[in-house]
Amino acid sequence: MKIDKEEALKKLATLDSKFLNVFEHGSLSVEVYQPEKVDLQKPHTRDEVYIIISGSGTFFNDGKRSSFKTGDFLFVKAGLEHRFENFTEDFSTWVIFYGPEGGENEI
């Protein structure tokens, strides 16, 4: 299976939403996300991964800030406050949710 980022972003642009679910399998859910100016996310109930499609900015995750750019991988544990800040106009990202509610246990 293949999901084309350009097609996903094109479809997202036709919706009145900042995110679009593009794939689900078992506990895996994949979305494309493209906020405008401000990221208003709230903490999620499952672990999550972001893979940056385009753009750059600052990522706030559990009280810490780090810069991000196209191609970067970001991880957020379930329940943690997080958001994208000061991002460029072309910012978009894959969002991958997986695992059980509450997040996976650490080994």
Place of tokens 């080994």: 107
Domain 5-98: what homologous superfamily? Answer: Jelly Rolls (2.60.120.10)
pLDDT of 55 above 90: yes
- Say whether 18 sits in a helix, a strand or coil: coil
Per-residue model confidence (pLDDT) at position 27: 95
Task: Please report, rounded to a whole number, the percentage of residues in the chain having pLDDT higher than 90.
Answer: 96
Q: Can you tell me the mean pLDDT for 43-64?
A: 97
Per-residue model confidence (pLDDT) at position 58: 98
Per-residue model confidence (pLDDT) at position 107: 60
Alpha helices in the chain (DSSP H): 5-13
pLDDT grade, residue 95 (50/70/90)? very high
Q: Can you tell me the mean pLDDT for 24-41?
A: 96
What is the full DSSP assignment across 57-81? Answer: EEEEETTEEEEEETT-EEEE-TT--
Q: Can you tell me the mean pLDDT for 17-24?
A: 95
Task: Please report, rounded to a whole number, the percentage of residues in the chain having pLDDT higher than 70.
Answer: 99
Per-residue model confidence (pLDDT) at position 3: 95
